[in-house]
């Protein structure tokens, strides 16, 4: 060509691995991750979740070995989910002092106090019907459920949780929990609200891990319609006004537009939840040799940060930490 000044040479900044790293706009580190853990009642049990290869349910006496690996990999935060033996209509196991998450929280703080404990605050793993609140007339009673959720949050804070993460999607849950925490003296405990939580088909493997499948109906009357975008902003704005310190968007991969919308329209940290179905699809394809797991996972998590996520809840946290440490 006679006149090469007529076009831009963008490839100059892609000429080598070092050059690409130098100008890379979005980077992943272990500081970005919150790793979910499923705590099982019983003794000496470590069960791999069949639909989530590499993810385990562990009993309290096996928790320390899991925590050591997490700590040694440089992962700084975990999210605790309880899998109790006994369930009832009210989800009593969620808020009693000797609940499985409360016991696990105390255990974490005793052996690795520097690990941040994010306590999932919901009733679904503890109710006999599998829904996230009290049932009246075959429906989830929003307002009657709020006091139990507040009670759960306070009990988790009392056990030593660093962050309360309510996932129930009841209207008003942030303000009720904030008031309850403040009245109990936990004014400095932040709320990581599942502000934007869609009624998604991507949750299937999680319900195996947490034993939380609804025994009737579904959760579409309280979780959001996947077709809706503006509703996500209304939910996010409400939770910030009620006192949320972080906002979770769940799921992440099919909702990156929502992650960006929430980031652009709020001024609190945004958390993307890379959910179980997103994890299991990749693991299944990798086990069949159909994809390069490492490259695909890194691309996927990078897309979540690029979309605006400040933090990522992901079951890939340990895998990615190992890959990063290899570098």
**Strand bridging mode 77-83 / 116-121:** parallel
**How many residues comprise the chain?**
327
14 labelled binding-site residue = no
Note the pLDDT tens digit of each residue in 302-323. Answer: 999 999 999 999 999 999 999 9
106 labelled binding-site residue = no
For residue 190 the two structure tokens come to 């932040």
Distances (CA, A) of 324 to 19, 26, 44, 320, 321: 19, 15, 31, 6, 5
Does 302 or 326 have the greater pLDDT score? 302
pLDDT of the residue at 198: 95
Catalytic residue among 87, 197, 283, 305: 197
**Strand bridging mode 135-136 / 139-140:** antiparallel
For residue 161 the two structure tokens come to 């949780």
Q: Is 250 an annotated catalytic residue?
A: yes
- 5: which DSSP letter? G
pLDDT of the residue at 128: 63
Q: How confident is the model at residue 205 (pLDDT cuts 50, 70, 90)?
A: confident
Decide if 161 contacts 154 (C-beta within 8 A).
Answer: no
Decide if 85 contacts 119 (C-beta within 8 A).
Answer: no
Task: Say yes or no to pLDDT of 131 above 80.
Answer: no
Note the pLDDT tens digit of each residue in 17-42. Answer: 999 999 999 999 999 999 999 999 99
Alpha carbon 274 to chain centroid, angstroms: 7
Give the integer Cα–Cα distance in Å for 172 and 167: 12
Angle of CA points 120, 225, 206, to nearest 5° = 35
255 labelled binding-site residue = no
Q: How confident is the model at residue 171 (pLDDT cuts 50, 70, 90)?
A: confident
Decide if 223 contacts 250 (C-beta within 8 A).
Answer: no
Catalytic residue among 87, 107, 250, 263: 250
Task: Say yes or no to pLDDT of 216 above 70.
Answer: no
Distances (CA, A) of 164 to 41, 112, 154, 206, 278: 21, 18, 9, 20, 24
Name 124's Cβ contacts closer than 8 Å, sequence gap at least 6.
91, 130, 131, 132, 168, 210, 212, 214
pLDDT of the residue at 169: 77
% residues pLDDT > 70 (the chain)? 92
Predicted TM-score of the model (pTM): 0.93
Q: Is 305 an annotated catalytic residue?
A: no
Does 126 or 115 have the greater pLDDT score? 115
Q: How confident is the model at residue 116 (pLDDT cuts 50, 70, 90)?
A: very high
pLDDT of the residue at 84: 80
Give the integer Cα–Cα distance in Å for 224 and 235: 10
Note the pLDDT tens digit of each residue in 233-248. Answer: 999 999 999 999 999 9
299 labelled binding-site residue = no
Q: Is the peptide bond before 205 cis (omega within 30 degrees of 0)?
A: no
Which of 108-117, 196-205, 215-224, 239-248 is predicted with the least confidence, judged by mean pLDDT?
A: 215-224
Does 92 or 320 have the greater pLDDT score? 320
**Maximum CA extent, the chain:** 79
Decide if 133 contacts 144 (C-beta within 8 A).
Answer: yes
Q: How confident is the model at residue 215 (pLDDT cuts 50, 70, 90)?
A: low
Give the integer Cα–Cα distance in Å for 207 and 52: 11
Mean pLDDT taken over the chain:
91
**Strand bridging mode 56-59 / 33-40:** parallel
Start-to-end CA distance of the chain, whole Å, equals 41
Q: How confident is the model at residue 107 (pLDDT cuts 50, 70, 90)?
A: very high
Give the integer Cα–Cα distance in Å for 21 and 208: 39
Q: How confident is the model at residue 133 (pLDDT cuts 50, 70, 90)?
A: low
12 labelled binding-site residue = no
pLDDT of the residue at 217: 52
pLDDT of the residue at 112: 97
Alpha carbon 114 to chain centroid, angstroms: 19
Task: Say yes or no to pLDDT of 4 above 70.
Answer: no
Query: Could you count the other beta carbons within 10 Å of the beta carbon of residue 298?
Result: 17
Task: Say yes or no to pLDDT of 218 above 70.
Answer: no
pLDDT of the residue at 301: 98
pLDDT of the residue at 130: 62
25 labelled binding-site residue = no
Decide if 183 contacts 177 (C-beta within 8 A).
Answer: no
């Amino acid at each position: 060509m006679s006149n090469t000044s007529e076009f831009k040479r963008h490839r100059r900044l892609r000429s080598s691995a070092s050059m690409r790293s130098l100008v890379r706009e979005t980077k992943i580190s272990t500081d970005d991750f919150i790793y979910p853990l499923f705590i099982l009642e019983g003794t000496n049990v470590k069960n791999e979740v069949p639909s989530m290869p590499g993810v385990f349910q562990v009993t309290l006496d096996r928790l320390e070995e899991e925590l050591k690996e997490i700590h040694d990999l440089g992962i700084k935060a975990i999210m605790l989910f309880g899998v109790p033996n006994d369930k009832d209509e009210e989800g009593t196991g969620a808020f009693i002092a000797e609940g499985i998450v409360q016991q696990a929280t105390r255990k974490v703080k005793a052996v690795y106090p520097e690990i941040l404990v994010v306590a999932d605050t919901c009733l679904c793993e503890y109710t006999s019907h599998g829904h996230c609140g009290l049932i009246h007339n075959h429906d989830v009673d929003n307002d009657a459920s709020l006091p139990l959720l507040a009670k759960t949050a306070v009990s988790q804070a009392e056990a030593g949780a660093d962050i309360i993460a309510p996932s129930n999607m009841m209207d008003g849950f942030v303000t009720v929990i904030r008031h309850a925490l403040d009245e109990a003296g936990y004014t400095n405990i932040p709320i990581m609200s599942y502000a934007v939580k869609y009624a998604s088909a991507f949750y299937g493997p999680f319900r195996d891990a947490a034993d939380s499948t609804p025994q009737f109906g579904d959760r579409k009357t309280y979780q959001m319609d996947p077709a809706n975008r503006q509703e996500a902003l209304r939910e996010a704005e409400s939770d910030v006004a009620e006192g949320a310190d972080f906002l979770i968007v769940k799921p992440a991969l099919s909702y990156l537009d929502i992650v960006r919308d929430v980031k652009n329209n709020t001024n609190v940290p945004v958390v993307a939840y890379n959910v179980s179905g997103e994890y299991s699809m990749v693991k299944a394809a990798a086990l069949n040799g159909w994809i390069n797991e490492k490259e695909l996972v890194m691309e996927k998590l990078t897309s979540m940060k690029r979309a605006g996520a400040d933090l990522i809840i992901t079951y890939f946290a340990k895998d990615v930490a190992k890959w990063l440490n290899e570098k």
